[in-house]
Amino acid sequence: MRLTVAEYLNSYDSFDLFGPSHWAAIFLFLFLVIWLPWFAKNHLNQYQQNRVGLILGVLIGINYPVWVLLEIFAGSFDVTLHLPIHLCRLANLLMPLVMIQRNFRIFEVLYFWGLSGVFQGMVTPDIIQNFPHFHYFRFFIGHNLMVVALVYAVVVYEMRPTLNSLKKAFIGLNIFLAVAFFANTILDANYFWIMGKPPMGSLLDYMGSWPWYILSGEFVALAHFGFAYLIFLWINNRINCG
């Protein structure tokens, strides 16, 4: 059984950037992020809304742990690769606190973390496995579905990020950056892509060489957070007008 799991994790068709499976993920995300919050807000009662939120929270919350369990079972778990020291992994673990417990302090940070990375996650996904491999679903659940859930929280749960939330998210990002740097130093790893750029193409390729792209990333992150806040203002305006 262990050998079967290991072979499965390492056997896959290569993901094609802007191939059919990539476009399918993009269109499904765009559909869900618009339709699901609207439908739940206008056509579901509170109990049903909470059930949908629970499903979203559970799906996203177990996304990373299931992967870790598979790697452990296959005998391929590696502390330099599989710890929750990438922003999306930590965010996935925290999402049930938002979707099930309605924790606003967690939400106001994750809103900016999640929405700021959605464009890069859609255009240049950090993935090599194609549909229907586990890692294909893991990536898009951990990124795209998380954004759907955060927009759901804004529209259905009426959770509202503020400019002060943006500041908290930026401070939290830099605390995470420091923790990741310390972990990388101890483990000789490259979590959060601090010690080197990811092997797949990404926005970091246009932000200078190491370590300057880390400094550039601070300004890019602020710009992304600002854009995420503008998205909230647009959503909030649509809700108030509706």
Instruction: For 186-212, write each residue's pLDDT tens digit.
Output: 999 999 999 998 877 677 777 888 889
- For the cut 80, the answer to whether the pLDDT of residue 18 exceeds it is yes
C-alpha distances in angstroms, 77 versus 73, 187, 198? Answer: 8, 14, 19
First to last CA, the chain: 54
Q: What range does the domain containing 54 cover?
A: 2-241
Give 238's pLDDT tier (boundaries 50, 70, 90).
Answer: confident
DSSP one-letter string for the chain: -HHHHHHHHT--PBPPTTSHHHHHHHHHHHHHHHHHHHHHHHH--HHHHHHHHHHHHHHHHHHHHHHHHHHHHHT---TTTSSS-SHHHHHHHHHHHHHTT--HHHHHHHHHHHHHTHHHHHHS-S--BPTTSHHHHHHHIIIIIHHHHHHHHHHTS-----HHHHHHHHHHHHHHHHHHHHHHHHHT--GGG-SS--SS--GGGGS-STTHHHHHHHHHHHHHHHHHHHHHHHHHHHHHH-
Domain count, the chain: 1
Total-model pTM: 0.94
Percentage above 70 pLDDT, the chain: 99
Q: Please compute the mean of the pLDDT values over residues 29-47 and round it to a whole number.
A: 97
Give 123's pLDDT tier (boundaries 50, 70, 90).
Answer: confident
Q: Is residue 127 within 8 Å of residue 144, measured between CB atoms?
A: no
